[in-house]
Structure 1
């Protein structure tokens, strides 16, 4: 699979124009059954997707993402090519199941669901880092509203 230069990729956000992609397109490309799709959706919702970037070259949209491994802290690089209609044409993943020209592993599926979610809802669930969470020591303590204790 011929990929564009890494400088042409831009982070995916709500202003990024992506081709239309829905769940049936993903299921047809991956040849997954409903039970396996539910597993992939759970992985996506538990924020296994680390980063997603896109590059448009001609009629094709190239999407590069990093997906966390299920059991360990390793991450795999995933590449997907979408045509102008949103159909995935080719994919590649660094995992053992995703080698070759058409990877059909769960890491590719997680990135596809991230793209679908961005197209439909303009929202992408990525893994949160510690600096994205509110500091807990600045949150005021809950006031005591009960009656005073008699001595």
Structure 2
């Protein structure tokens, strides 16, 4: 069914259609329409040929992380946008998360473009890569969320996610903040740079410079002999 057809539906009817598919009915009308479209596009996720890794209960490491740099590109597994789409869209449908947002990837990309990914650190352990750091809220500049993310080092599949925001609760969160981090790692793995906000030590330091430049005549040097 086309989106134009769903637009004509009332909110009650949209929710009825979602209930038939076993999907969550939370959200605004636009969210309900997008959710129905996702189910239609993927045939209600009943005959999904894509393998979705089972979420693993994970004991998140707390030590040994180092700040992610562009030079660490070789440490990041080859990731493709299809894997990110698979995780967020299909996981939302499979887990029927009431707080899930089908536009998480789109909103995550906007966070990246707005430089809201503030810090990312990583740790390699056996066949897994752990990432942790901070992502800023979209609308509130002083609000930030800590995130955790686990990748399979060999396949590049996302295994576990967690974010402090309501939609990102682990062990397999699907919020826009986690999507933003996944997009940053995708960009890095493709050699397109690391879209992480610079730290204060990386920015050009200007605290030691005068506020105003002197534009007058040169000051005559004092004759050292005049002091004798």
TM-score calculated relative to the size of structure 1? 0.79
CA offsets 1:64-99 (integer angstroms, 9 cap, x no match):
121001121111111111002111001101111111
Other structure's SS at 2:174 match = coil
Q: Which runs of 5+ in 2 are unaligned?
A: 1-57, 91-100, 214-228
Alignment length (residue pairs): 138
Q: Which residue of 1 aligns with 2:16?
A: none
Q: Which runs of 5+ in 1 are unaligned?
A: 140-151
Q: Is the 8 A contact 1:65 1:111 kept in 2?
A: no
Q: Which residue of 1 aligns with 2:6?
A: none
Please say which of residues 33-42 and 22-31 is displaced more in the overlay.
Answer: 33-42
**Structure with greater proportional helix content:** 2
Q: Is the 8 A contact 1:54 1:63 kept in 2?
A: yes
Call closer, same or farther: CA 1:34–1:5 in 2, change over 3 Å. Answer: closer
Counterpart pick for 1:76 among 132, 137, 145: 145
Deviation at 1:39?
2.8
Other structure's SS at 2:147 match = strand
Please say which of residues 33-42 and 59-68 is displaced more in the overlay.
Answer: 33-42
Q: Which residue of 1 aligns with 2:134?
A: 66
Q: Which residue of 2 aligns with 1:20?
A: 78
Q: Which has the larger radius of gyration?
A: 2
Counterpart pick for 1:41 among 94, 109, 113: 109
TM-score calculated relative to the size of structure 2? 0.54
Other structure's SS at 1:121 match = coil
> Within 1, Cα distance between the matches of 2:104 and 2:67?
28
Q: Which residue of 2 aligns with 1:5?
A: 62
Q: Which residue of 2 aligns with 1:101?
A: 171
